[in-house]
Structure 1
Amino acid sequence: MNKFDIIVVGAGPAGLMAAIRAAQSGCSVALIDKNKKVGKKLLMTGAGRCNVTNSRPVDEIIANVPGNGRFLHSAFSQFSNLDIISFFEKNGVALKEEDHGRLFPTTNRSKTIVDALFNSCLNLGVQYFPETNVLGLLIENGEVKGIKTAQTNYFSPAVILATGGKTYPSTGATGDGYTFAKSAGHTITRLYATESALLSHEKFIEEKTLQGISLKEIELSVLNAKGKSVVKHQHDLLFTHFGLSGPAALRCSSFVNKLLEKGEKEVTLSLDLFPEIALGQLTQKLSVLTKSNKSLKNACASLLQERLFVFLAETAGLDPNTPAKQCSKKEIDALSKLMKSFHIKVYATFPIEKSFVTGGGVTLSEINPQTLESKKTKGLYMVGELLDINGYTGGYNITCAFVTGAVAGQHSSAAILQQNK
C-alpha cells in the first residue's frame, strides 16, 4: 500500500526543500512529479546558472517581493536566505555573489543546485515517483487523506502542494495546483504574467533600430495615465526585436499588466540613461563635450554607444554628423532631457506561459502564514509559486520557494510526529 507520513507534489525548489525538511524529522516522505527528472524549471533559471538566492537582509528581500511579500515575515523568521546558503554550503556547493546580491553556484551550472537538493532527498530516504500525473486530492470530512494519480492512489495525512504556477508549461507547470486548491475549498486570485518581457509597436522597435543594445544600471519608470510614476527600477535593460527585456523591464512588467487591466491600450515607460546624474549636470557635461571640433557623435562617444546616441540625437532633431560646436544651447537642452526621460510605449507583456513568474494564485487569507497549512482543509499545505506571491528577478522568487517549502516541510512533519505520539 502506498502510504506515507507526508506526500510532496512537485519536484521544483519548493517541493525539494519541503521533502528534505520533512524527511529530516524522520517522517516517511513521497516526492511525486510528472516529469522524468527533478528540477526541470530550476535547471533553466539564471540562464542555466541558477540564481539560487540573494544575500540581502530579510527586510530588503521581502521588499523585493511586490506580490504580497509581507505575508512571508513569519516564514522568513523560521527559515531565511542565510539558511539556504548554509544548506548548500553544508552539501558541498560553493556559492559566489554577483551584482545586486545575487548568489550563484561557483560552477555556473544549475545542475549543481538540483543535484545537491535531489541527493539530499535520496540520502534522507525520500521516495521519488517520477512521471506520475496527479489527478486530484483525496479529502474526507475536511481533512486530506492523500492523492489520486493516473496509476494509483497514495495515502497520507499530510500533502504539500508545490506544483508551481503556469509559466513554461513544458517544465510541467500547467496550473494543476490551482485546480487541486479549488477542490479543497480555496479561492484563486486573477493569474497574470510577471517578470515578463515588454512588447512595443514603437517604430524604432519594429525597425530594429536599437535591437541588441544592452544598457547597464539605467532607471526605467512606469507612468500612469496622468504621467505619474507608479514604480521605477534601476537595473540593466536590453532592446530586442519585440520591445524591452532585461531585469529593469521584467521588474516593471507586473505594473504594466495592472495598468493595461484598467483599460489602457498602451502604457508609457520613461527611460533615464543617467540616473546618478541630475539633468543640470548632464546638460553641463554635454555643453563641455560639444565645444569640440569633432562631429557631434564623436565628441559624445564617451557617453553612450554610438548607435543609441545617433538615434537619440536624430530624435532630438540633431544631425549626429554635424560639428559639435555648432549645437545651440536649446539643442543641447533637448538632447539632455531626452537622455533623462525618453518615453517608450508598450502594449503588452509576454503571456504567462512565456514569462518567468505567475502573478496571483491561492488567496493568502486562506493560508496559515506560520505553517503554510490550509485553513480550509486540514493537513494540506501550499508553497512556492502556487501562492499569491511573486518577487522580482534576482533570486527572490527561488528564495520564496525554498523558504515556504522548508517551513511547510517542518510544520507538516511536526504535526505528524505529534499525532503519532
Structure 2
Amino acid sequence: MTYHVTVIGGGPSGLMAAIAAAEQGASVLLIEKGKKLGTKLAISGGGRCNVTNRLPEEEVIKHIPGNGKFLYSPFSVFNNYDIISFFEDLGVGLKEEDHGRMFPASNKAQDVVKALLAYLDRLHVEVRKETKVDAIQYGESGHTVHLDDSEKIRTKSLIIATGGKAVPHTGSTGDGYKWAKTAGHTITTLYPTEVPLLSKDAFIKDKKLQGVSLRDVNVSVLNRKSKPIITHKMDMLFTHFGISGPAVLRCSQFAVKEFMKGHRPVTIEIDALPEQSLEQLTETYLQKSKDHPKKTWKNTVKGVLPERMIDFLMEENGITPEETNAHLSKEQFHSFLKNLKYFHVSVHDSQPIEKAFVTGGGVSIKEVVPNTLQSKKMSRLYFCGEILDIHGYTGGYNITSALVTGNVAGMNAAWEGMSEG
C-alpha cells in the first residue's frame, strides 16, 4: 500500500499534522519511535499543558524571538484562536490564566492528549508506536521510508515532525536533522534556549543565595559594552549552579548567543526594584535614615527583598546587623542601594541543550515555503514543529508554533498526496 501522507514524530506538531491530513480525506500513517504519543504535551506546563496563548497575533509572534515572523503566513491559515476552537470542539474546555496562557479547565495535560488520540482514531489514522525509521529514500512522485526492521513504507507526501534536541527523554533526539540534510537542507547551528545559566561567582559557589527567589525583577543580558541586549521583568531564582526561573529562562538564549560569539563570561544584571529609579530610592532612604537615626539599617530596608538577600548585600558592603543609620558611611549607603538596582552575576555557560526546554536552530526557514511548510529543496516533503529553526519563549508559544505549522503542513501534504500530479 502507498499512503497519501506519512508523518514521522508523534509530538504536538506530528499529531496535529496527522489530524489535519486525515481531515482532508487522505490515508495517513503516523510513525513514533517511543511507546507513547504526545509525551511532550503530557509534561508541558508542569503537567497541565499550556496549549496556546490568547494574546493578539502580533504579541504571540513577538514572543517567538527565533524567526517568529515566518509564522505570519501559517497564521493566516490557522492561528492561536483556531487552536482554542479546535480543542473546544474536541470537548476540551480551556481557561485563561496570566499573560494569556490557555490551559485545559481540568488542569490535566492528559485530557488534551486523550482528546487528540481519540480524534486520530475517529479519523482512521494508522498509528505505529515503538517504530524506528532507519533512512528515507526520496523520489520524484513519492518517498520510501525504511524502518529499522527492514520494512519499506511508500508514501506520496512525507512530513518530518521529529522535534529538536531539547528534552530528549520525550524522544526529541535530533533524528530528523540527518533526513533533512539528505534532502539537501541546511541545519542552522543548534543551541539551547529557555535554559538555566551557570556561574562561577564566589557567592554562587558558596551557595549563599541558593534557593532565594526574587519577584518581578528586571533581568538583563549585557553586551561587551555593558549595554542591555534584552530585559525581561519576571521572577528569578538563585540556584547551586547559577541562576534560573522565568526571567532567566527568557533571557538565556541572548546570553547563549553571546557565548557563541566568543563573549564569555556574560554579565547578567538584576534590578530588584524596577519601579523606582536609583534617585528615588536614594531620596527615600536618606529621608528614612534622617527620620530614624537610631534604627538599624537592617530594619530600615527590611521587607524590600528576601532577608537572605539583604543579609548578603549587607555583608558584601561591610554593614553589620547592629549598624544604625547614623553610623552608616556614605559609601556603604550608596553602594548598598546600587546593589539593589544593578546586581551583577557573571555567567560563563548554560546547561546543555538536553536540559533546555526548547531548541534554537534547525531546518533553515529560508528553505521552506511559509504558507504550505513544504520543502523548497524536495517535492512532497514538509516540516513542522521544533525541527524548524523557530523557537519561542515558554508560555504556550512553542506549542502554538508546533500546532500551527503541523496543521498547515498536514493540510498541504494531504492535498499534494491525493493529487494525481
TM-score, normalised relative to structure 2:
0.95
Answer whether contact 1:289 1:300 (CA < 8 A) is retained. no
- Deviation string 1:17-53 (CA, Å, 9 cap, x unpaired) is 1111111111111111001110112222222222221
Distance 2:313 2:114 in 1: 48
Q: What secondary structure is seen at the aligned counterpart in 1 of 2:3?
A: coil
In the TM superposition, residue 168 of structure 1 has moved relative to its aligned partner by: 2.1
In the TM superposition, residue 288 of structure 1 has moved relative to its aligned partner by: 4.2
Partner of residue 273, structure 1: 272
In the TM superposition, residue 385 of structure 1 has moved relative to its aligned partner by: 0.7
In the TM superposition, residue 367 of structure 1 has moved relative to its aligned partner by: 0.4
Unmatched segments (≥5 aa) in structure 1: none
Answer whether contact 2:214 2:306 (CA < 8 A) is retained. no
Point out the more displaced range, 251-260 or 7-16. 251-260
In the TM superposition, residue 409 of structure 1 has moved relative to its aligned partner by: 1.0
Partner of residue 160, structure 2: 161
1:287–1:99 distance in 2 versus 1, CA, 3 Å = farther
2:397 matches 1:396: yes
Answer whether contact 2:214 2:305 (CA < 8 A) is retained. no
2:104 matches 1:105: yes
Partner of residue 14, structure 1: 13
Answer whether contact 1:316 1:338 (CA < 8 A) is retained. no
1:415–1:306 distance in 2 versus 1, CA, 3 Å = same
Partner of residue 356, structure 2: 355
Partner of residue 256, structure 1: 255
Instruction: Give the paired residue count.
Output: 418
**RMSD (CA atoms):** 1.6
Distance 1:95 1:48 in 2: 15
- Deviation string 1:63-102 (CA, Å, 9 cap, x unpaired) is 1111111111101111111111111112222222222222
Match of 2:145 among 142, 147, 160: 147
Point out the more displaced range, 357-366 or 100-109. 100-109
Point out the more displaced range, 87-96 or 6-15. 87-96
Answer whether contact 2:380 2:417 (CA < 8 A) is retained. no
Distance 2:327 2:51 in 1: 52
In the TM superposition, residue 157 of structure 1 has moved relative to its aligned partner by: 0.8
- Deviation string 1:258-302 (CA, Å, 9 cap, x unpaired) is 111222231101001112222222223333444444432223222
Answer whether contact 2:258 2:264 (CA < 8 A) is retained. no
Partner of residue 62, structure 1: 61
Paired AA for residue 34 in structure 1: K
Partner of residue 323, structure 2: 322
- Deviation string 1:136-163 (CA, Å, 9 cap, x unpaired) is 222124x542311113122111111100
Paired AA for residue 165 in structure 1: G
Q: How does 1:197-346 map to 2 (within 5 A)?
A: 197-290=196-289, 291-292=291-292, 293-346=294-347
Unmatched segments (≥5 aa) in structure 2: none
- Share of identical aligned residues, percent? 49
In the TM superposition, residue 391 of structure 1 has moved relative to its aligned partner by: 0.8
Partner of residue 42, structure 1: 41
Distance 1:6 1:195 in 2: 33
Point out the more displaced range, 174-183 or 244-253. 244-253
- Deviation string 1:115-139 (CA, Å, 9 cap, x unpaired) is 1222221121111100000112221
Paired AA for residue 175 in structure 2: D
In the TM superposition, residue 167 of structure 1 has moved relative to its aligned partner by: 1.2
Partner of residue 137, structure 2: 138
Answer whether contact 2:142 2:154 (CA < 8 A) is retained. no
In the TM superposition, residue 329 of structure 1 has moved relative to its aligned partner by: 4.9
Partner of residue 366, structure 1: 367
1:119–1:183 distance in 2 versus 1, CA, 3 Å = same
In the TM superposition, residue 419 of structure 1 has moved relative to its aligned partner by: 3.1
Distance 1:98 1:294 in 2: 43
In the TM superposition, residue 317 of structure 1 has moved relative to its aligned partner by: 3.2
Would you identify which runs of 4 or more consecutive aligned residues in structure 1 move more than 4 Å? none
Distance 1:22 1:411 in 2: 8
Partner of residue 192, structure 1: 191
Q: How does 1:66-145 map to 2 (within 5 A)?
A: 66-141=65-140, 143-145=141-143
Answer whether contact 2:212 2:237 (CA < 8 A) is retained. yes
1:95–1:283 distance in 2 versus 1, CA, 3 Å = farther
Point out the more displaced range, 109-118 or 375-384. 109-118
Paired AA for residue 37 in structure 1: K
1:321–1:88 distance in 2 versus 1, CA, 3 Å = farther
